[in-house]
Amino acid sequence: MVMNSDQKIVHPFWLRTFHWINLVAVILLILSGWRIYNASPIFAFTFPKEITLGGWLGGALLWHFAAMWLLFFNGLLYLFLNTVTGRFKARFFPIRFGDVFSELTAAFKGKLAHDDLSEYNAVQKLAYLFAVVFIVLLVLSGLVVWKSVQFPLLRELMGGYDNARIVHFFAMSALVAFTAVHVMMVALVPKTLLMMIRGR
């Protein structure tokens, strides 16, 4: 790739828009979700009230069931445009799994190359695809928790209502873990943040 990455639009406008809308939706959903979790914790801990959204269970549910639409339609449009523009294929495939390993090793040694930001490396490809998978899983398990009677097939796929809550929880945890690493990497290469704002 010879082209100067300063000039070339790496992230099209629509993608940047979806990215930031998704961020808002995910923050609202996770913070309100933690408050909902607290009403009947699955595990032996609760989330500190100060970092939850909604004030009480009813408020958190209002936020959660409002922000879910934002995530859902934004995500649907994201998948649709990525598919029809061929961006998915162009940016994410092929993923060379040999590269994943060597890049991870390089990253841990602090020697991960990032001079060309216009192309994703193999670890990035994998990580971003996983983020998409986690969100899809959150939507599907969320549908079962929300409407277990109306989605029998999905319910059985999730292993029943109670199990769907556990799937929902771990998909959330995975997305939070992804976000933590993602933000850390952006902090290490701040130019990527600029790129997600102005496209280049």
Partner 1 sequence: MKNRLDKSIIIQEALKELPSPSRRLLMKRAVTLGGLSLLTGCAVTDEKSAENMLMKISMLNDDVQAWLFDPNKLAPTYPESMMTKPFPFNAFYGPEDIPEIDEEDYQLEVSGLVADKHSWTLAELRKLPQTSQVTRHICVEGWSAIGKWGGVTFATFLNHIGADLSAKYVGFKCEDDYYTSIDMPTALHAQTLLTLTYDGQTLPPEYGYPMKLRMPTKLGYKNPKHIVAIFVTNTYPGGYWEDKGYNWFGGS
Applying CB under 8 A, the residues found at the interface with partner 1 are 31-32, 36-37, 39-40, 42, 49-63, 65-66, 69, 145-150, 152, 155, 161-162, 165
Closest approach of Cβ 85 to partner 1, in Å? 30
- The tokens of 43 are what? 């595990």
Q: For residues 11 and 168, which CB has a smaller minimum distance to partner 1 in the complex?
A: 168
Closest approach of Cβ 165 to partner 1, in Å? 6
Q: For residues 51 and 133, which CB has a smaller minimum distance to partner 1 in the complex?
A: 51
Closest approach of Cβ 82 to partner 1, in Å? 26
- Largest Cα–Cα separation, the chain: 56
Q: For residues 63 and 134, which CB has a smaller minimum distance to partner 1 in the complex?
A: 63
Nearest Cα to Cα of residue 176 among 129, 135, 126, 123: 135
Q: For residues 21 and 57, which CB has a smaller minimum distance to partner 1 in the complex?
A: 57
Q: For residues 83 and 150, which CB has a smaller minimum distance to partner 1 in the complex?
A: 150
CA distances from 157 to 154, 172, 185 (A): 5, 18, 35
Closest approach of Cβ 66 to partner 1, in Å? 4
Closest approach of Cβ 161 to partner 1, in Å? 6
Closest approach of Cβ 58 to partner 1, in Å? 4
Q: For residues 114 and 147, which CB has a smaller minimum distance to partner 1 in the complex?
A: 147
